[in-house]
């Protein structure tokens, strides 16, 4: 009788624990988000924690721009904007020159990065693993935005069309990049039946500028790059147009997403957004660098990154947040 009573008690305890866990799971839906986060409103980004003690309100805000090129190039470019953010938020703002996409995501996940511009393909990883909440992108004054993935080669390479890549070397940037890896990988296979490391050789340059210069210097036969980066390099004279030839251009993708970490104090998060949407571009270093842009446009991850999530799904990409 005693054993039967103990057994029943254990069963009751097990079912109670399972019921509690089920209730907690229903109270904290998360979709593809890390187990650290909840998404009760279904916007696909992490909710602000219910407990105010989990909110962060640092004396110094750390800001990082996606490392599409040498980070030292952008310390000067963002200086005026950073001063504006300091004025609006009342906080000191420090530019953090990250060397890789992975370093940027990890810094935010570890609480060392509060505001960031994250590359197009990296937004899903930053959102799901680091609690990134994108709210803006750069756009032209008429509201148009985005960039295209281009596959470039050099004149005289013998590559005149995509099919000519067979047996040649195509440079990617990094596995998290949309235009530098995910989009070209998916499109080359779907549209042309070309698989990486089977029909053509691959290399990883680390950044778009490395890929572009690598093609111009004939280190790579071809490269998949964001044409927004190529345009800025051409404008600066960092590369000569005569050394680059485009053989493929994709549909338009959303550009870099700007946002804050999910647990930033809501009053401070509101001030950060205000800083972006009240910045005066006229005569600024940002306007000089991003010549085709003229404002920060409000966006949502759920709507504006749908095409990127579709590409990830087609490639079987999962967001491992361990």
User: Tell me, what CATH number does 288's domain have?
Assistant: 3.40.190.10
Percentage of the chain surpassing pLDDT 70? 92
pLDDT at 94: 97
pLDDT at 2: 52
Which pTM was predicted? Answer: 0.81
In the chain, the number of structural domains is 2
Q: Is the pLDDT of residue 29 over 90?
A: yes
- pLDDT band at 22; cut points 50, 70, 90: very low
Q: Are residues 286 and 249 in the same domain?
A: no
Q: What is the DSSP string of 243-272?
A: G-EEEEEEEEE---EEEEETTB-HHHHHHH
User: What distance in Å separates the CA atoms of residue 117 and residue 111, rounded to the nearest whole number?
Assistant: 16
Kindly state the tokens that stand for 132. Answer: 């990134």
Region 55-74: mean pLDDT is 90
Beta bridge partners of 249: 150
Among residues 227, 253, 279, the one where a domain terminates is 253
For 143-199, how does the pLDDT look when each residue is reduced to its tens digit (9 = 90+)? 999 999 999 999 999 999 999 999 999 999 999 899 999 999 999 998 999 999 999
Cβ–Cβ < 8 Å for 320, 175: no
Nearest residue to 68 (alpha-carbon basis) of 124, 109, 118, 29: 118
Region 51-68: mean pLDDT is 95
- Domain of 88, in residue numbers: 52-144+254-314
Among residues 234, 253, 272, the one where a domain terminates is 253
For 93-110, how does the pLDDT look when each residue is reduced to its tens digit (9 = 90+)? 999 999 899 999 999 999
Backbone φ and ψ for 47, nearest 5 degrees, come out as -75, 155
Among residues 253, 273, 293, the one where a domain terminates is 253
Q: Are residues 189 and 119 in the same domain?
A: no
Q: Are residues 243 and 298 in the same domain?
A: no
Determine, yes or no, domain membership for 217: yes
Determine, yes or no, domain membership for 75: yes
Q: Is the pLDDT of residue 53 over 70?
A: yes
Nearest residue to 258 (alpha-carbon basis) of 155, 113, 148: 113
Q: Is the pLDDT of residue 12 over 60?
A: no
Q: Are residues 261 and 121 in the same domain?
A: yes
User: What distance in Å separates the CA atoms of residue 206 and residue 41, rounded to the nearest whole number?
Assistant: 36
Q: Are residues 200 and 260 in the same domain?
A: no
């Amino acid at each position: 009788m005693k054993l039967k009573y103990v057994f029943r008690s254990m069963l009751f305890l097990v079912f109670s624990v399972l019921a509690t866990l089920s209730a907690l799971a229903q109270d904290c839906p998360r979709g593809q988000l890390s187990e650290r986060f909840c998404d009760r409103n279904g916007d696909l980004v992490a909710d602000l924690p219910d407990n105010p003690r989990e909110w962060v309100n640092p004396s110094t805000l750390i800001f990082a721009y996606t490392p599409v090129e040498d980070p030292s190039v952008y310390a000067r470019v963002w200086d005026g904007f950073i001063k504006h953010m300091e004025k609006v938020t009342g906080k000191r703002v420090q530019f953090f020159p990250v060397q890789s996409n992975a370093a940027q995501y990890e810094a935010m996940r570890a609480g060392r990065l509060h505001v960031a511009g994250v590359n197009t393909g990296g937004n899903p990883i930053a959102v799901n693993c680091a609690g990134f909440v994108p709210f803006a992108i750069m756009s032209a004054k008429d509201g148009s935005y985005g960039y295209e993935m281009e596959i470039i080669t050099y004149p005289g390479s013998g590559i005149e069309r995509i099919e000519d890549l067979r047996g040649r070397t195509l440079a990617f940037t990094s596995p998290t990049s949309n235009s530098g890896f995910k989009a070209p990988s998916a499109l080359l296979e779907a549209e042309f039946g070309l698989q990486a490391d089977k029909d053509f050789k691959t290399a990883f340059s680390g950044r778009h500028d490395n890929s572009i210069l690598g093609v111009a210097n004939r280190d790579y036969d071809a490269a998949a790059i964001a044409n927004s980066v190529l345009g800025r390099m051409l404008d600066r004279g960092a590369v000569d147009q005569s050394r680059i030839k485009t053989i493929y251009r994709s549909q338009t993708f959303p550009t870099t997403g700007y946002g804050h970490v999910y647990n930033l104090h809501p009053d401070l998060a509101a001030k950060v957004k205000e800083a972006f949407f009240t910045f005066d571009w006229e005569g600024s270093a940002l306007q000089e660098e991003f010549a085709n842009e003229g404002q920060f446009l409000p966006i949502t991850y759920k709507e504006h990154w749908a095409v990127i999530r579709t590409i990830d799904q087609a490639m079987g990409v999962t967001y491992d947040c361990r």
